[in-house]
Amino acid sequence: MEITLSELAKLIGGEVSGDPSVVITGVAGIREARPGDVTFLADPRYSRFLETTKASAVIAPPNAGRSKKPLIICENPYLSFVKAVEYFFPNRDSYPRTIHPSAVIASSANIGKNVAIGACAVIEEHVKIGDNTVVLAGTYIGKRTTVGSDCLIYPNVTIREEIKIGDRVIIHSGAVIGSDGFGFVKDGEVYRKIPQVGNVVVEDDVEIGANVTIDRATTGTTLVGRGTKIDNLVQIGHNVVIRENCIIVAQVGIGGSTEVGSGATIAGQAGIVGHVKIGEGAIVAAQAGVVGDVTPGGMVSGYPARDHKQAKKIYASLQKLPDLLKRVADLAERVAKLEKGQKV
Amino acid sequence: MEITLSELAKLIGGEVSGDPSVVITGVAGIREARPGDVTFLADPRYSRFLETTKASAVIAPPNAGRSKKPLIICENPYLSFVKAVEYFFPNRDSYPRTIHPSAVIASSANIGKNVAIGACAVIEEHVKIGDNTVVLAGTYIGKRTTVGSDCLIYPNVTIREEIKIGDRVIIHSGAVIGSDGFGFVKDGEVYRKIPQVGNVVVEDDVEIGANVTIDRATTGTTLVGRGTKIDNLVQIGHNVVIRENCIIVAQVGIGGSTEVGSGATIAGQAGIVGHVKIGEGAIVAAQAGVVGDVTPGGMVSGYPARDHKQAKKIYASLQKLPDLLKRVADLAERVAKLEKGQKV
Amino acid sequence: MEITLSELAKLIGGEVSGDPSVVITGVAGIREARPGDVTFLADPRYSRFLETTKASAVIAPPNAGRSKKPLIICENPYLSFVKAVEYFFPNRDSYPRTIHPSAVIASSANIGKNVAIGACAVIEEHVKIGDNTVVLAGTYIGKRTTVGSDCLIYPNVTIREEIKIGDRVIIHSGAVIGSDGFGFVKDGEVYRKIPQVGNVVVEDDVEIGANVTIDRATTGTTLVGRGTKIDNLVQIGHNVVIRENCIIVAQVGIGGSTEVGSGATIAGQAGIVGHVKIGEGAIVAAQAGVVGDVTPGGMVSGYPARDHKQAKKIYASLQKLPDLLKRVADLAERVAKLEKGQKV
């Protein structure tokens, strides 16, 4: 595939600065790019690579400054780069819309038009799958679960019974949706299982990473809101409610019945206890241990998680702690001496 | 399904306070409940919902106080609620006891009476499965492994060869039992694999969460004791021994050869190094980093994990550290001034 | 299987100290060993078990001292023990080299000689599998992926399309190789997916644990270098580069585009942000939160991760912090008194 820089600029919505006739044949990150590639500059930390990249052209923001490299100047270089990637990989997720003969599909299942079902996939009784959805090999969908239209379910996913998946949802391999919530009640010495009779609702445009686990509610619903993106190996407990357009990074754990407001970001390996509320647009830093509510728009970090500005001060102060101990010991001696002197 | 409050009270072992003729049609949590539902009050943090819940009745402890809501007064409201849930969902885990024709079962496998085996499940040579056990679609059971009676193995589980699973064990989707322990020995520059020739023994009444990994022993046995409950995404290293009735919350990691005493609780995302001993009934707080033994009945938290009371003091003191630095600097100045004054 | 101690010593490269005619019938850890077993002593912490072990003989280092137990003295007891294990379990990983009739193999797939493919495994178009490789039940290999020779892929693994796996690679159950990188760009209120069009390259002699997730690159390659060993439930982000002979312990998370130098060790549950560099031979301690580069040969620990010696001092000082607060308050009072006295 080939396109001139000027044509590409039109396609992705930018202005060429430099030779518009340069021929572009691929896309790549700024460090890995080779001649023929277009790359992009979004993160100022990478601007030092602008002159050394082997790319033939760079998609850059208006404030990128001058460069010997041909540029496409865009308001949102990252977004424009995505459009370039989509141009060069137009059929990335196209799967033949066939039902593999080895798939096991219950006679009561309701399969939409133009659906693909992979080899050894298992679709149980009364499942409903919307139009254009792709279910790949080895995936299991339990009875009475509904999956919307235009979804992409990768191989070896498990979606248990009575789950609701919206439209345009992407679920990566190994994810488990609707496993039992972790609920037990002590009955003398032993733990007795609390039946987990609720469900999981995954709204439209959600993406769920590989080997993620989302537990069904004890009663009621565990909810993943529209447009929320969940990275790999995340654990979402029973009755958790995650609102729209949240970002949940890899290996995060969210305890039962906690609510995450819309637009919140939970960074990698953070843990949130059950029964708290993360406000709209809040940010929980990586590895934070959240034990209480977080205010809307707030940012917390550390263990136990505190307001990020305060936490940063604390963690910076920590470096001085060993020295502080010595200084206080020294002061104590000098004060004792002064006290002696005064008495004398 | 319908039942009057007085009938329900008899069934779950409590006394009605209020109108005994109220008709109950379902169960739900106190915040999500709708008219017709019975809910429960176990956690005092939720008592503020007692008057505002839409539930038609509440299962409550003797000290709940008076309420306009009809109540069922019980010693253990949570346990009584479980009985109510079981009443309304009597056949929750009932699966037709059939062997799906697409399941692949070795001729030497010994399958008990009344067993279900799902589509595309694979049962290898010399496997033994006890009566009434359910093995769902896509699950793999390796050669010479034995699974007891009345077990429920969800879809897409992997149980490797020569594992022993007791009776009434529940294993959730994506769990891997008996993967190789992580053992290598350095041979010059490279790591040479130590063959992992031990097994895993899972005793009766254990529950294992989704995408859990339990490694087989290098030699000998990795043990999960009777009645222990393991949440999702937990890692249990080779030769770990977990005794009876422990609670292991999501994303915990337990290093090789560590022993967890009976009745211990390991909270979410905690990590325990290898070769240590967690005493009976001990509690490891969420995200704790345990690097040594924990005494029976003890509670530890923080990184590195310390006695919880001490750790709480430390983490509370941390807030004052930035201010402390300033105060010590101020004191140092004043002491220096005093010293000058005294000299003069 | 039986072998005399003197024969075993020859086989594993050591010298007998004590009765060379002792008959050995198995292998075991020093605490679990029974009569007839040979065990080993590598970790000095276990030397207290030397006299009490029930093993019939012990593989020990030259400095082990004298013992009533028959010993085999070796330079590297652990390595010699591995050889003993290999002697007693010679066919540990031998699988019949057959293609199960229920496996689904695309006609364009190129399958080498002496390959095993398990029940319900799915091999897509244009996959290439090298000689002697074993692919077990339920595993999925996506189109145009190549797997080298002498690999062992356990059941229920997912390897997505266009991945390159080297020779002698071991991949444990539930691992997902080549899931999409977690990349989104904000487009107004919503997140738009960045197509992930790169791949994953896993070099020779790598081992990948159960339920590990390795994301494909956005563009270019996510790399796992030759001889690197990855434990269970590890997350490796898009465009991460891990060099040769690294050890990545369970539940570690490595953010996108980070580079891990050869011979590095990342201990359990550690997290590393994206876009940093871990030097050759560096060590990241368990649960560390790495937010910047780590120098070659360096060791870091704690949150945020600092030089390990400094971090150790800080974490030790922490214990004294509650007391320090009291001491400073006391000093402040005494200094105030002194100041009063001086004024007077």
The DSSP code sequence of B55-124 is: -SEEEE-GGG---SS-EEE-SSHHHHHHHHHHHHSTTTT-----B-TT-EE-TT-EE-TT-EE-TT-EE-
Residue among A220, A314, A318 whose CB faces B32 most closely: A220
Give me the pLDDT at residue A92, please: 67
Contact between B56 and B36 (Cβ < 8 Å):
yes
Contact between A147 and A128 (Cβ < 8 Å):
yes
**Which of A335, A189, A297 is closest to B281 using CA atoms?**
A189
Contact check, Cβ <8 Å, A318/B315 = no
Beta bridge partner(s), residue A186:
A191
What is the 3-state composition of chain A as percent helix, strand, coil, each rounded to the nearest 5? 20, 30, 55
- DSSP class of A62: G
Specify the fold of B104-309.
UDP N-Acetylglucosamine Acyltransferase; domain 1 (2.160.10)
**In this complex, is the C-beta atom of A99 within 8 Å of any C-beta atom belonging to chain C?**
no
Q: Angle CA(C28)–CA(C33)–CA(C37) in degrees, nearest 5?
A: 70
Q: Lowest-pLDDT range, A145-154, A285-294, A331-340, C257-266?
A: A331-340
**Which of C141, C280, C171, C156 is closest to C234 using CA atoms?**
C171
Those residues whose C-beta lies under 8 Å from the C-beta of residue C217, and which sit 6 or more positions away, are C181, C196, C198, C199, C200, C238, C239
Contact between A129 and A167 (Cβ < 8 Å):
no
**Which of B233, B235, B234, B201 is closest to B217 using CA atoms?**
B201
Q: Angle CA(B117)–CA(B118)–CA(B120) in degrees, nearest 5?
A: 115
**Which of B31, B35, B24 is closest to B47 using CA atoms?**
B31
- Helix B321-343 to helix C321-343 angle, to the nearest 10 degrees? 30
Distance from CA of A276 to the nearest CA of B (A): 12
Q: pLDDT, tens digit, for every residue of B245-254?
A: 999 999 999 9
Residues on chain A touching C118 (C-beta within 8 angstroms): none
Whether the CA torsion C142, C144, C150, C151 is positive or negative: it is: negative
Give me the pLDDT at residue C39, please: 95
Q: Is the pLDDT of residue B45 over 90?
A: no
**Which of B308, B303, B297, B296 is closest to B272 using CA atoms?**
B303
Distance CA A69, CA A17 (A): 9
Residue with tokens 């690197």: C228
Residue at A51: amino acid letter: E
- β-bridge pairing B306-307 and B299-301: antiparallel
Distance CA A151, CA A197 (A): 25
Give me the pLDDT at residue C92, please: 67
Marked catalytic residue, from B100, B172, B238, B275: B238
Q: pLDDT, tens digit, for every residue of B169-208?
A: 999 999 999 999 999 998 888 999 999 999 999 999 999 9
Looking at domain C3-88, what is its CATH homologous superfamily?
MurE/MurF, N-terminal domain (3.40.1390.10)
Give me the pLDDT at residue A90, please: 83
Predicted ipTM?
Answer: 0.94
Compute the count of residue pairs across chains B and C with CB atoms less than 8 Å apart: 189
Widest CA span in chain A: 101
Residue among A176, A191, A327 whose CB faces B210 most closely: A176
Compute the count of residue pairs across chains A and C with CB atoms less than 8 Å apart: 190
The subunits that touch chain A, with at least 3 C-beta pairs less than 8 Å apart, are B, C
Q: What stretches in chain C show pLDDT beneath 50?
A: none
As annotated, the active-site residues of C are 238
Q: pLDDT, tens digit, for every residue of A87-137?
A: 998 876 678 899 999 999 999 999 999 999 999 999 999 999 999 999 999
Distance from CA of A92 to the nearest CA of B (A): 27
Contact check, Cβ <8 Å, B220/C28 = yes
Element (H, E) at B321: helix B321-343
Those residues whose C-beta lies under 8 Å from the C-beta of residue A231, and which sit 6 or more positions away, are A209, A212, A248, A249, A250, A251, A252, A268, C182, C235
CA distance from start to end of chain C: 93
* Residue B152 pLDDT grade (very low, low, confident, very high; cuts 50, 70, 90): very high
**And the tokens for A202?**
């995954």
Whole-structure pTM value: 0.95
Residue among A158, A191, A271 whose CB faces B155 most closely: A158
Average pLDDT, chain B: 95
Average pLDDT, chain A: 95
Those residues whose C-beta lies under 8 Å from the C-beta of residue C190, and which sit 6 or more positions away, are A205, A227, A245
**And the tokens for C108?**
């364009």
H helices present in chain C, as ranges = 5-12, 77-88, 308-318, 321-343
Element (H, E) at A84: helix A77-88
**In this complex, is the C-beta atom of C144 within 8 Å of any C-beta atom belonging to chain A?**
no
**Which of A230, A234, A201 is closest to A216 using CA atoms?**
A201
Q: pLDDT, tens digit, for every residue of A262-320?
A: 999 999 999 999 999 999 999 999 999 999 999 999 999 999 999 999 999 999 999 99
Residue among C79, C89, C233 whose CB faces B235 most closely: C233
Q: Which of B58, B117, B173, B251 to mutate to test the interface with A (most CBs of A within 10 A)?
A: B173
Residues in chain B: 344
pLDDT over 90 percentage in chain B: 88
Chain B residues 237-296 with CB within 8 Å of chain A: 245, 247, 249-251, 263, 268-269, 286-287
Residue A304: is the preceding peptide bond cis (ω within 30°)? yes
Kindly report, as residue ranges, where domains of CATH 2.160.10.10 are found in chain B: 104-309
Q: What is the mean pLDDT of residues A172-179?
A: 98
Q: Which of A87, A232, A313, A315 to mutate to test the interface with C (most CBs of C within 10 A)?
A: A232
Give me the pLDDT at residue A344, please: 52
Distance CA C331, CA A6 (A): 73
Task: Give the up-direction half-sphere exposure of residue A284: CA atoms within 13 A in the CB hemisphere.
Answer: 36
Distance CA A251, CA B35 (A): 38
Contact between C137 and C118 (Cβ < 8 Å):
yes
* Residue B54 pLDDT grade (very low, low, confident, very high; cuts 50, 70, 90): very high
Widest CA span in chain C: 101
